[in-house]
Amino acid sequence: MIWDSIKGHAAQVEHFRRAVSRQRLAHAYLLVGTHGIGKRLFARTLAQCLFCERMEESALEACGECPQCQQVRANTHPDLLTVECPEGKRELPVALLMGSRERRGREGLCYELALRPMSATRRVAIVDDAELMSEESANGLLKTLEEPPQGSIIFLLTPDTDSILPTIRSRCQPVQFAPLSDADLTDLILEQHLTDDASTASQTAVLAQGSLSTAKELLEPELRGLRAVVVHHLSAPGIQPLRTVADVTAALDKFGSDSSVQRKYAGWVVQFAVEQLRLKLHKVNDPTQADILGTMLERCLETELHLRQTMPVPMCLEALFDALARIQRGGELARSV
Ligand SMILES: [Zn+2]
């Protein structure tokens, strides 16, 4: 059973199975859900089921062994077209969809989708990072969506529908994907040997909020280092704000000085602080202590907001740890601040 290798998303599989068995597959789908939850693997597996020689299309299954299946798995199937935003780019290059400037409309995904299938009975396109399409790309794609080539299917993958032009959105059937459950994500982390320690895996799964790509990032040395700094300072009996800020800032600087990068990782500092405070909160019995921890957690959420409102990162962090230290020192005084 090919779908057994995919964690979660059973309802979405059923959705497509019903559509296929009623011969009601749409030409274009918008697969919506946060990064790193398996949308692309889902779309590829779906294509494999549609291409497989040994299984009826209506079963929405794949044998995993026929030449079609093997080509999909090896990423060499001539009728499965995929594009994504290259690493480091902030926009999906128009050339990938519409062809280079000199050959606009005579190459690229939209052109190739209209060609006759080479080995399967239809062509399938996967546009990952669809939210990063430029207006030019979107307009090019729109023509394809308005007159879809016979039998073709396009999957547009995006974390949210807001960043997709309404004209594109209205021509696609949306399918919403939920983040992976903590249990599924823990399993995936262990299966992929991102860590072999079960408790690290489950802690990471909670922090990653259902996203495998976030979990991967969390398990890389840089973020582990940043987390260790936050854990170290927050688990001390009394938080020392100046030293905490100095160490956190030094750890943040390892990610580079780009302000949007700093802001992103400062967000992780807050997440790690929240994680630590929640752990403590689970352990305390004394209501006064629980109250203090609750106030500290609220203060962290305030910093999240400040970071989103583009308050300078150093100011956010200084204010945060200063406030946390004060709240920790004495509940009453701090609550009025
Ligand atoms: Zn097969």
Within a domain: residue 210?
no
Residue 194 CA, ligand 1 centroid: distance in Å: 30
pLDDT at 333 over 90: no
Do residues 142 and 169 make contact, with C-beta atoms less than 8 angstroms apart?
no
Residue 214 CA, ligand 1 centroid: distance in Å: 32
Query: Cα–Cα distances in Å, from 146 out to 94, 168, 169?
Result: 18, 9, 12
Residue 45 CA, ligand 1 centroid: distance in Å: 11
Residue 225 CA, ligand 1 centroid: distance in Å: 44
Higher pLDDT, 4 or 179: 179
Last residue of a domain, one of 176, 209, 229: 176
Within a domain: residue 184?
no
Residue 261 and residue 167 share a domain: no
Number of domains in the chain: 2
Q: Residue 263: which domain range? A: 220-335
Structure tokens at 176: 């919403």
Higher pLDDT, 185 or 57: 185
Within a domain: residue 188?
no
Residue 124 and residue 7 share a domain: yes
Lowest mean pLDDT among 4-8, 19-23, 235-239, 331-335: 331-335
Within a domain: residue 33?
yes
Residue 147 and residue 11 share a domain: yes
Within a domain: residue 235?
yes
Residue 44 CA, ligand 1 centroid: distance in Å: 13
Residue 167 CA, ligand 1 centroid: distance in Å: 36
Do residues 160 and 132 make contact, with C-beta atoms less than 8 angstroms apart?
no
Instruction: Average the pLDDT over 194-204 and give the result.
Output: 95
Within a domain: residue 266?
yes
Within a domain: residue 196?
no
Q: What digits encode the pLDDT tens for the residues 296-310?
A: 999 999 999 999 988
| DSSP 8-state class, residue 211 | -
Residue 143 and residue 48 share a domain: yes
Residue 75 CA, ligand 1 centroid: distance in Å: 14
Residue 69 CA, ligand 1 centroid: distance in Å: 4
Which residue do the tokens 């299938």 mark? 117
Arithmetic mean of pLDDT over the chain: 93
Residue 331 confidence (pLDDT): 61
Give the integer Cα–Cα distance in Å for 97 and 94: 5
Residue 326 confidence (pLDDT): 93
Residue 43 CA, ligand 1 centroid: distance in Å: 16
Q: What digits encode the pLDDT tens for the residues 20-72?
A: 999 999 999 999 999 999 999 999 999 999 999 999 888 999 999 999 999 99
pLDDT at 88 over 90: no
Residue 64 CA, ligand 1 centroid: distance in Å: 5
Q: What digits encode the pLDDT tens for the residues 96-123?
A: 999 999 999 899 999 999 999 999 999 9
Residue 115 CA, ligand 1 centroid: distance in Å: 23
Within a domain: residue 148?
yes
Q: What digits encode the pLDDT tens for the residues 132-177?
A: 999 999 999 999 999 999 999 999 999 999 999 999 999 999 999 9
Residue 334 confidence (pLDDT): 45
